[in-house]
Amino acid sequence: MRKLFTLFSIVLLLNIYAKADEGMWLLPLIQQLNIEKMQQMGCELSAEEIYSINKTSMKDAIVIFGRGCTGEVISDKGLVLTNHHCGYGAIQQHSTPEQDYLKDGFWAMSMQEEIPTPGLSVTFLVRIEDVTEKINSVLSDDMTESDRQEAAKKEGKTIADQATEGTHYSARVQDFYGDNKYYLLVYEKYTDVRMVGAPPSSIGKFGADTDNWMWPRHTGDFSIFRIYANKDNMPADYSEDNVPYNPKHHLPVSIKGIEQNDFAMILGYPGGTDRYMTSYEVEELIKINNTNRIYVRGIRQEMLLEDMLADDAVRIKYSSKYAGSANYWKNSIGMNKALKQLKVIDKKKANEDQFSAWLNEKPERKTQYVEALPLIQKAVKERKELTHANQYIYETMLRSIEIVDIAYDALDLYNVLNSENKDNLESTITELKEKAEKFYKNFNAPTDQKIAPVMLKIFAENVNSSYYPDIYNKIEGNYSNYVDKMFESSIFASQEKLFDFLGNPTLDILKNDMAFNASLSINAKNDELKEKLNEINSDFDKGNRLYIAGILEMNEGKAMYPDANFTMRMTYGEVLDYDPMDAVHYDYITTLKGVMEKEDPDNWEFVVPEKLKELYNNKDYGQYALKNGEMPIAFITTNDITGGNSGSPVINSKGELIGTAFDGNWESMSGDIFFEPELQRCINVDVRYTLFIIEKFAGAKRLIDEMTIIK
């Protein structure tokens, strides 16, 4: 029998007694679940000032920035603040060896100098609506798990279509709590977003890989963009006639500073957490997923960095790819260390024992939930080899051998050439050309040719031969020879070769191309593995749904939160120091003095710009200095965040911007799986450092002048 839960009954099982600053909360539930505690901690806002569908509220200043970050509107002219690493792809897009914005930074000194950035968008949340009853009306207990998911997906699309009919909005229905609840999310997307300002990487990425995920931190991780709209303030594609967007709400910016124990709130789009994860899954994560990622990416990144440091053109092409790879790579290293050190598997087992004991208290509970843990355990055990092989295909080939990626984009062309109907030939060629132009802009064939044989060999050495793509029959152990022939002969080795082919494409050339055949072979094996995994994971999905439903019932009456799934959430906490280990204490704030202490002109990660040193030596900080005369850079809070929160605003008790979230700390890298309140910290750029760099370092005071500054 399916059980419907009230919103108030929802709880996440971490350790049963969770602290107040833990949680990624759904905005419609703030009044019911959070606001009283927040106000006890010092918050002066009402729930409706944070989230309202009838009035302007704080949520109207928060955007999805691009496809995986958060940003906030900070002026009445559509100025958007986010992280430097969130704007990194756009900064790279506009960079060349002759005009290197990654290295030198960029500042538009007038609106006319702001750079259109094709492909970049920002998305506002319009509203969230609980549609669980509507979805549940098409579900039944006798459905298979895949049938349930398909029925929910179909009904969700109907609900989303009805919600947006006659509007320019988009919408989707998202599952929460392991398919136990469903919400409709309605969005408004703006596609004319222009680059306004970015510090040089020596500020925006100061410390680079070495300091990533570390505290103390001294990184000015911010960049500035502007939203443009048509004359009616509506979303519109780029046009010279577009004007700066007039937001419903923008965040005032406070330069009053922060103190220990100050209230701090974050609104943003956390990407994903797995805090319902069982001990079986944690073990799988440690031994397979993270371990494989650490090994493969570590090797590839070394090879990439070698080429990047040797050639500025290659550095620009691969900067964004390298940064993204290295970020997740180091995260996996830290996560494995923290999961083991904090004995998370033991804690998960204790939770499972408690769940089992609760089941045994009443026969009806066993009837309803007894399958939950056994189904999860069985699925994790059965998928072990498939998971390992599937991840190795992804890490060593699909994301590491780039020529295979662009070659697979020609599959639609192959299908058209292989059919009697050629009506779509011209449009298919045009679409492939558009993809190719974006691809080759950030592709260096010699680098890919160097990496590919190493990746193919690593796969063969670490995966059972029964999972090899059939190209291994042609490689016959001579990886370099195979790859050299591929790059020598393939039409995908360069944009020039591909475009020459597209001038008069033929089926024979395409179907005999080595890169195209490699892409078909690799993707066919990947699809085969995924299909087998999907069969096993049907049991896993059912077990997971039942387990979470049981946890909700077991903890009925406790106010908690769902896992993150890149929907807008609120988290609240306080500015707070911490003790990471015996005899070590970390303060809650860092200053420019720390940059100078870390400076190393011979290490690209710790180079300091001359202008910044000059400002430091002269103590020329303007109105942004601390009371003791030092220049603040970053601070930490107890806010519960994860990937996707990058760029999120850190907001004080009055609703004013005090910083921008950009990282978590090394000691709590297990946080996506298990929140550790004594260690978990959110690392933020102090907004005073952001404004100092804009005004004093860049001389772009015009941007300060359009903000609402609270002194």
Instruction: Tell me how far CA of residue 156 lies from CA of 132, 254, 293, 537, 680, in angstroms.
Output: 10, 41, 34, 22, 36
Please give the pLDDT value at position 21: 66
Nearest to 6 by CA among 550, 544, 570, 557: 557
Rounded Cα–Cα distance for residues 124 and 245 (Å): 12
What was the pLDDT predicted at 558?
A: 82
What's the maximum distance between 2 C-alpha atoms anywhere in the chain?
Answer: 78
Q: What is the pTM of this model?
A: 0.92
CA atoms within a 13 Å half-sphere pointing along the CA-CB vector of 603: 12
pLDDT for the residue numbered 100: 96
Whether the Cβ atoms of residue 73 and residue 65 lie closer than 8 Å to each other: no
Given a contact cutoff of 8 angstroms between Cβ atoms, the answer to whether 454 and 306 are in contact is: no
* Catalytic machinery residues: 85, 221, 646
Determine how many CB atoms are found less than 10 A away from the CB of residue 483. Answer: 25
Beta bridge partners of 79: 226
Q: Measured between alpha carbons, how far apart are the two ends of the chain, in Å?
A: 58
**Per-residue pLDDT, 278:** 98
Number of Cβ within a 10 Å radius of residue 464: 9
- Check if the beta carbon of residue 246 is closer than 8 Å to that of residue 77: yes
Tokens of 341: 């050190």
- With residue 304 as reference, give the H or E element that holds it: helix 291-310
Helices and strands counted in the chain (H then E): 29, 23
pLDDT in tens, 602-625: 999 999 999 999 999 999 999 999
Q: What is the DSSP letter of 655?
A: S
Concatenated DSSP letters of 84-108: HHHHHHHHHHT--SSS-HHHH-EE-
132 close to 182: Cβ distance less than 8 angstroms: yes
Q: Which two tokens stand for residue 600?
A: 């190393």
pLDDT at 695: 98
566: left (phi over 0), alpha (psi -120 to 50) or beta: left
Give the Cα separation of 552 and 440 in Å (integer): 49
Q: What is the pLDDT of residues 420-451, one digit of tens each?
A: 888 999 999 999 999 999 999 999 999 999 99
C-beta of residue 642 within 8 angstroms of C-beta of residue 671 = yes
Q: What is the reported pLDDT for 560?
A: 67
Give CA 691 to chain center in angstroms.
25
3-class SS of residue 150: helix
DSSP string, 363-390: HHHHHHHTTHHHHHHHHHHHTHHHHHHH
Positions in the chain whose pLDDT score sits under 50: 1-20
- Sequence-separated contacts (24+) of 532-536 with Cβ below 8 Å: 532/386, 533/383, 533/386, 533/387, 533/390, 536/379, 536/382, 536/383, 536/386
DSSP-derived letter for residue 643 is T
b/e 248-263 (16+ beta carbons within 10 angstroms → b):
ebbbbbbbebbeeebb
Backbone angles phi, psi at 202, to 5 degrees: -65, -15
Strand-pair category, 181-190 with 122-130 = antiparallel
Phi/psi region, residue 343 (left: phi>0; alpha: psi -120 to 50; beta: rest), is: left
Report the distance separating Cα 254 and Cα 251, nearest Å. 9
E runs forming strands in 112-180: 115-116, 122-130, 170-176
How do residues 112-154 score in pLDDT, each as one tens digit? 999 999 999 999 999 999 999 999 999 998 999 999 999 999 9
Predicted local distance difference test score (pLDDT) of residue 665? 96
What element of type H or E holds 325? helix 312-341
Nearest-angstrom CA–CA distance, 388 and 289: 7
Distance CA 312, CA 695 (A): 29
The string of DSSP codes covering 23-35 is --EEGGGHHHHTH
Residue 663 CA to residue 181 CA, distance in Å, equals 30
* Of residues 384, 328, 267, 345, the one with CA closest to residue 674: 345
Q: Do residues 172 and 160 make contact, with C-beta atoms less than 8 angstroms apart?
A: yes
